[in-house]
Amino acid sequence: MKKALSVLLSIVFIVSLAACSGGSSSKDGAKNISILTPFLSSVTTNEMVEALKKQAEDHGWKANVIDTKGDVGQLASRMEDVIASKTDAIVIVSTDPNQLKAQIQSAKDKGIPVLGCDSGYIDGMTMNATSDNTEMSKMVTTHLFDSLGKKGNLVVLTYRAHPGVLKRTLLLDEMLQQNPDVKKVTEMQVEVPGPIESARKEMESLLLANKAEGSITAVWTGWDEPAIGAAQAIEASGRKDIVVIGIDGNSQAVDMIKKGSPLVATVKQNFPGMAEIVAQQLENVFQGKEVEGTELYAPASLITKDNA
């Protein structure tokens, strides 16, 4: 009996301790921003969340970060909770808003703005900041075509089922039409998940099938993971005449570019830039002004061996 009571009391004690450490809501007048994501452990998402926290601090807002470890159902529940707690704004990071339609609507009904950081925009949201996929693709594809002297044999590794990657690939299609001397050897769809391994295997087979020097001059990939896989395959085969480009600027890719692998260029998405745009637009909302647009782009930058 005594033991049971002591266990019970300690539970209540622990919970109340935690609850008190949680701090009181915005009685001090500072705006409360709820930052929600299911992917805090992902490198890029984490970078954005950290940048958002920094931005919130600079604007004098109180940021509360909620991560649900990949669980979108949980995310919907936690979003309802922050709506119930009358938060002043919600920022969803790296989250497909289509999965939160009902919650976004209910936030809108309660007058709580929902902003996206690299999330996508749907009706009911205030705005979303992301990268312009077409523009990024143009940057790196132009760089590749220029360095090839606008002629050569191109292998394409992509995944058209992903809406962002599709935009990048469509731009490539357009540029291939404008540059008839760049010939497409083949286009392969990379398997997701496991894109690095999949691209590596595909590239190994393609190298065996195209042994003659110059039969492949470059590999265009829809994002960095297949670029890494393709570069590894080329490196292992010992062929020096093939270059690879990627898009995203993930740290492994940048590292490979630095070390002089077949991977020669990528485009780095500006994640802190996205956080900055979200914060600016939120400031506008708090001041009762209109946002500058519902889908805003953070400018990306080309990474080559010179600046990696």
Partner 1 sequence: MMETTKITKTSSSVQWSKLFRSYGTVIAGILIIIMFSVLNPGSFATLDNAINISRQISFLVIIGIGATIVMSVSEFDLSIGAMASLGGVIAAKIIASGGPLWIAFVVPVLVALIIGFINGWIVTQFRVLSFITTLAMSTVLGGFTFWLTGGATIFENIPDSFRYIGQKSLGSIPMLSIVMLLVTILFWYVMTQTAFGRRLYAIGGNESASRIAGLRVKWNKNAAFALGAALAALTGVLMASRLGSAHPTAGNGLFLQAYAAAYLGMTSFKEGVPNIWGTFVGAAIIGVLANGLTIMEVPTFMQDVITGVIVIAAVIMQRLGRNAQ
Stretch of 20-28, 133-141, 249-257, 275-283 contacting partner 1, by CB under 8 A: 20-28
Instruction: Give the C-alpha separation, 154 to 179, whole Å.
Output: 12
Q: Is 57 in the site for partner 1 (CB under 8 A)?
A: no
- Write out the binding residues for partner 1, residues 83-102 only, by CB under 8 A: 84-86, 96, 98-102
Instruction: Give the C-alpha separation, 288 to 126, whole Å.
Output: 13
Shortest approach of partner 1 to residue 268 CB, angstroms?
A: 25
Q: In this chain, which of 161, 180, 238, 290 binds partner 1, going by CB under 8 A?
A: 161
Where on the phi/psi map is residue 70: left (φ > 0), alpha (ψ -120 to 50), or beta?
A: left
Where on the phi/psi map is residue 248: left (φ > 0), alpha (ψ -120 to 50), or beta?
A: left
Cβ-based nearer residue to partner 1, 34 or 217: 34
| Burial grade of 177 (CB within 10 A; 0-12, 13-18, 19 or more) | exposed
Stretch of 21-29, 146-154, 222-230, 268-276 contacting partner 1, by CB under 8 A: 21-29
Q: In what order do the strands lie in the sheet with 127-130?
A: 62-67, 32-37, 89-93, 114-117, 127-130, 295-297
Q: Is 29 in the site for partner 1 (CB under 8 A)?
A: no
Shortest approach of partner 1 to residue 21 CB, angstroms?
A: 7
Shortest approach of partner 1 to residue 5 CB, angstroms?
A: 7
Give the SS3 label for residue 128. Answer: strand
Q: Is 166 in the site for partner 1 (CB under 8 A)?
A: no
- Among all chains, which residue has been given the structure tokens 């996205």? 274
Tell me the number of residues near partner 1 by CB under 8 A.
50
CB atoms < 10 A from the CB of 3, how many? 7
Shortest approach of partner 1 to residue 191 CB, angstroms?
A: 8
Q: Is 212 in the site for partner 1 (CB under 8 A)?
A: no
> What residues contact 170, with CB distance under 8 A and at least 6 apart?
134
Shortest approach of partner 1 to residue 82 CB, angstroms?
A: 6
The answer to whether the peptide bond before residue 193 is cis (omega within 30 degrees of 0) is yes
Shortest approach of partner 1 to residue 40 CB, angstroms?
A: 8
Q: In this chain, which of 81, 241, 255, 295 binds partner 1, going by CB under 8 A?
A: 81
Q: Is 21 in the site for partner 1 (CB under 8 A)?
A: yes
Where on the phi/psi map is residue 265: left (φ > 0), alpha (ψ -120 to 50), or beta?
A: beta
State the residues that interact with partner 1 by CB under 8 A.
1, 3-5, 7-8, 10-12, 14-16, 18-23, 25, 32, 64-74, 76-78, 80-82, 84-86, 96, 98-102, 161-162, 192-193
